[in-house]
A and B are shown apart, each in its own frame.
Chain A
Amino acid sequence: MNFSFIQKIRGQSGLILVSPPFFYALLLLAFPLMGVFALSFWTQDYLELNRDFTLDNYREAWTGAIYQALMLRSLKISILVTLLTVVLAFPVAYYISFHVSPKKKPLWIFLITIPFWTSYLIRIFLWKVILGFNGVINGSLIGIGFIDEPLKFLLFNQGAIVVTLSHAWIPFAILPIYVALEKIDRSLLEASEDLGDGPVRRFMRVTLPLAMPGIIAATLIVFIPTIGDYVTPKLVGGPNGLLIANMIEVQFKKANNAPLGAALALSAMFIVSAIAMVFLWFNRKYLRQEQ
């Protein structure tokens, strides 16, 4: 009894302690999100807000041809970026975890994150310089006589968005995979080898399944926020490379239709979360079967 009393007091001091950041997040995150939710059921005529409940915004967001096209394109690009990022990141994380001596590991992690600490906007802009008509790649290829005319397919398309975004997110994918690989008990790998597994079999049956939590974390960390980027499509995407986030930005700023913007933002969040859930569910099922 005495013990549970102490626990109660401890519980209270924990609550008191956590309340300043909790109320901050409640006031500036939870309530505003609810505000956006409410807004998505209202309408706006220039600056006047009409608070009558309507589903029109969602109807427009889900059936309007342009919104459907943008949403599908955004999803396609987010999925491609996530796949490319995780595939590019895995060997790097594997190399740092298994081939770099323990003393040098922090230095390697630092090396991976350095390019990430330049200005985000300038980094994206530099990809425009690299991929552009008179850019670094075209310049070099012409310089060595490989091509006569600049390649136009490098910039201002969806491929350029995928490359630029993958580059921007790669440290976020390497770090969780690296952490998962570090946690693998090295004796398991020896055991698998002793039991006659070759390197490929050992990788597929021991390393990869044990690295799965890191891969899943990397996938979610890259996939969810990518849908909200509107800078990259604007700078390197060209006329056919605008994404749903650009449309959300336009609705909130220039078009003065915040309710539609809210409906689009929430719809995008909903779709992305649903895909993430399905992905997690499949993984859980697959991992359980393995066991």
Chain B
Amino acid sequence: MAKTKQSRYLVVYIGIFLVFLYAPALLLPIFSFNDSTIVAFPLSGFTLAWFIEVFKTEPLLTAALNSLLVAVITSVFATIFGIFAARASTRYQFPGKRGIMGLIMVPMVLPEIIIGVSLLVVILQLGFNLSLTTIILGHILLCLPFCTAILSAGFQGLDKSFEEASQDLGRSRLETFWYITLPLVMPAIISSLLISFTISLDEFIIAFFLSGTEATLPVYIWGQLRFPTRIPIILALGTVLLLVSLTLLIIAEYFRRIGARKTGTEVKGGLF
């Protein structure tokens, strides 16, 4: 496209937009290395103390372990349920398909506070205690639509003739699914696991409603934001989390591309 006046304005706009977009993410590491409890410019000096503090704060580590546990269990269950939903919706026609798939996908647009509140009401009415388990139940619900969307794309890209060939050669349907289909959609499964893991790890609103005495990391962070002296530690923690998320996302993207190559589709689009 020719370089017109309009496209120059557009480039300037994109520049300003990227500053707006990255402002918080760039400030995060800057302040987490800053040698002052006051989070403001001018910077007073370089320190690693906040990072050391992150790994020495007992409740923080406990919360991190809780979050890890919640995220791992959530991602496994959401992905298994997602495989069922994605396989059913891409390969089969069945009565009430639109309604059923609609219900599974609805948490994607439902405000999280509604999910949190409605689960809270039912759990308390049934007399259960709030715990990490209740958070996991909520997170699976929230992650399920994202997993289903990613896995549906994976199943759709699958060449049906591979499965037919396997069945023609005498494998049962279950064997075919296990030996042919699953390996072919494995990249989609891995990116589904990683995306739901990341969503669960960072989820606050549902976790806040459904947490009992054990806090997840975001619930812990929320409690700490009230204390100005704790802020630099939280920012250091944020930097660590950013690095972890980015690493996981790059791995997810890597597997997605391998998957696209395996199923013969063009590598198109980004992470979604």
Contact = CB atoms under 8 A, between A and B. Distances in A.
B91 A18 contact: no
A106 to B, nearest CB: 4
Contacts of B41: 136, 139-140, 143
B92 A10 contact: yes
Contacts of B48: none
B92 A14 contact: yes
Interface in A198-251: 199, 220-221, 224-231, 235, 245, 248-249
A231 B204 contact: yes
Contacts of B225: 121, 125, 235
B246 A117 contact: yes
Interface of A: 7, 10-15, 17-22, 24-26, 28-33, 35-36, 39, 88, 91-92, 94-95, 98-99, 105-115, 117-123, 125-127, 129-130, 132, 134-136, 139-140, 143, 167, 170, 175, 179, 199, 220-221, 224-231, 235, 245, 248-249, 252, 258, 261-262, 265, 269
B172 to A, nearest CB: 14
B141 A225 contact: no
B147 to A, nearest CB: 9
Which of A106, A113, A199, A220 has the most C-beta atoms of chain B within 10 angstroms of its own C-beta?
Answer: A106
Contact of B38 (A11, A109, A134, A221): A134
A122 B94 contact: no
B181 interface: no
A230 B113 contact: yes
B113 A35 contact: no
A250 B92 CA distance: 45
Which of B24, B94, B205 has the most C-beta atoms of chain A within 10 angstroms of its own C-beta?
Answer: B24
9 contacts: A18-B88, A20-B80, A21-B148, A109-B270, A119-B221, A120-B202, A121-B204, A126-B28, A258-B121
Given A17-B92, A18-B85, A120-B218, A35 B118 contact: yes
B27 A136 contact: yes
A91 B13 contact: yes
Contacts of A265: 113-114, 117
Given A32-B122, A226-B111, 4 more contacts: A33-B114, A130-B23, A249-B113, A262-B117
